[in-house]
Amino acid sequence: MFNILKIVKLIIFNSSILLIMFLSNCLYAENIDIFAYESSNNIRLIFNSKNSLLSNVFILKNPPRLVLDIKNVNNISKNNSNFRYITKIRASKKNNTSRLVFDLNVAAIQLNKNNIIKKNGANTLLIDLTIDSINYNSTNFNNKIIVIDAGHGGADPGAIRRNIKEKHLTLIAAKILKKKLENKNFTVFLTRKSDHYIRLRNRVKFARKKSADLFISIHADSTKNKRTSGTSIYSLSEKASDKLSQALADRENKSDLIAGLDLDVLDKAVSDILIDLSRRETKNSSIDFAELFVEKLKRSGFNLLRRPHRQAGFAVLKAPDIPSVLIEMGFISNNNDLNKLTNPEFQDKLMNIIAMIIEEYFKPIN
C-alpha cells in the first residue's frame, strides 16, 4: 500500500509559436516534485525535493530511453502518460534507490545534467535532453485525447426557439464530431451521451480525469437582435472582450446556478505555481486553436460572427491545464442560422471542418 502520497503534476509544452500543444500527466511520489516539459527539440525534467537528490542519469538506445536512478524517493506511481515524445514512464525500487525510466519515441542526442541547486532548503535537479526532432515525424493521433462537451442537457435546455432546443443540437453535433475524430484515430470522450444535465465544473473535472489534450464545448447562441448570425469561438478570459461575450458567458455560467453550485473548478491539490505556469501555456494554446479555427472557417466560406474569436469567463473553459474552447455554431435566434443548425448536411459540414482543424492543430511542426 502507498503511504500518504503527494500529488505531483508532470507538464509538457511545445513552445513553438504557431501551435502550442500542452499536455499534462500526474506522477505520484513522496517528497519529490517532478515536472516534465517538451519543446520541439528538447525534453526538460525538473526534480524538486527537500531531501538531497543524489542521482545517476543516462540514456539508452534501441529503444530510446532516459534512465534516472534517484535515492530517497518512495512510492512513485503515475497515470497514463500522454506526451508527444515520452511514451511511457516506469518506476521501480531497489533498496534505497528508485529507478525512473522514460520511454521515448524519438532518439536522444545529448544529455545535460545540471548541478543540484540548493535554495531555501530545497534541492533542484535539472535534466535537459536534446532529441533528434529532425527525424521525428509522427502523425499518429492515437495518443491524443479530445473531450467534446455537448452544451446544456436535461433540465437545462439552453436556448429555445420554435420548440428547437440548444441541448439537442449540441448533442447531435458532439456525436458527429466524435465519429469524425475517431476516424482520424483520435481518442474521444463525450461529457454527456444523452439528454441529462452535468454541472459545468464536472465537465471540466471529467476532461482532467481523462487527461484531455483538448476540450471543446459545443453550443448554439441566441440574442435579441434577430439579424445577428454566424459561427464564433471563445477562449477563456477573466475579462470579457465585449458586451455580447459577457452576456453570453453570464448566460452559459447560469447553467450551473440552476443547480445552485459555485463555479470553483480548480483542483486544490495542484500547487499555485503550477497552476500559474500551466494557465499561461493553456491560455496560449486555446488562443492558437481559436485563431486556427477562424482562419480555416473563413477560408472555407463559412458565415462567421463579426470578430469571431472572442474571450470571456466561461466556467467550462477553466481547466488550468487543458486547452479549452467553446464553439457557438450559430444563432438559434436567426432564421438562416436556425435552418442551418437543424440541417444534417450543415451539421456534417461544420463538424467535418472542426475535425480537420483539430487534426491540423495536433500535427507536429517539422
> Which residues are near Zn ion by CB under 5 A?
151, 158, 219
CB of residue 238 to Zn ion, shortest distance in Å: 20
CB of residue 247 to Zn ion, shortest distance in Å: 12
Q: 323 preceded by cis ω (within 30°)?
A: no
Amino acid making up residue 223: T
Cell of 275: 497552476
Tell me how far apart the alpha carbons of residues 94 and 154 are, in angstroms, rounded to a whole number. Answer: 53
Q: Which residue, 38 or 256, has its beta carbon nearer to Zn ion?
A: 256
CB of residue 302 to Zn ion, shortest distance in Å: 19
Q: Which residue, 9 or 152, has its beta carbon nearer to Zn ion?
A: 152
Q: Which residue, 136 or 197, has its beta carbon nearer to Zn ion?
A: 197
CB of residue 217 to Zn ion, shortest distance in Å: 8
CB of residue 181 to Zn ion, shortest distance in Å: 21
CB of residue 172 to Zn ion, shortest distance in Å: 14
CB of residue 177 to Zn ion, shortest distance in Å: 16
Tell me how far apart the alpha carbons of residues 73 and 2 are, in angstroms, rounded to a whole number. Answer: 13
Q: Which residue, 12 or 220, has its beta carbon nearer to Zn ion?
A: 220
Residue nearest to Zn ion (CB): 219
Q: Which residue, 64 or 151, has its beta carbon nearer to Zn ion?
A: 151
Which residues, at least 6 apart from 104, have a Cβ–Cβ distance to it below 8 Å? Answer: 43, 63, 64, 65, 66, 85, 86, 87, 131
Q: Work out the angle between the directed axes of helices 344-362 and 272-299 (0-180°, nearest 10).
A: 130
Q: Which residue, 219 or 283, has its beta carbon nearer to Zn ion?
A: 219
268: left (phi over 0), alpha (psi -120 to 50) or beta: alpha
In the chain, the DSSP E strands lie at 6-13, 22-30, 32-39, 42-49, 55-60, 65-71, 74-78, 86-94, 97-104, 108-119, 122-131, 145-150, 160-161, 164-165, 187-190, 214-221, 231-236, 304-312, 324-331
51 φ, ψ (degrees, to nearest 5)? -80, 165
Q: Which residue, 33 or 166, has its beta carbon nearer to Zn ion?
A: 166
Q: Which residue, 151 or 153, has its beta carbon nearer to Zn ion?
A: 151
Are 114 and 55 contacting, i.e. CB atoms less than 8 angstroms apart?
no
146 φ, ψ (degrees, to nearest 5)? -115, 130
Tell me how far apart the alpha carbons of residues 310 and 242 are, in angstroms, rounded to a whole number. Answer: 8
CB of residue 251 to Zn ion, shortest distance in Å: 7
Helix (H, G, I), strand (E, B) or coil at 154: coil
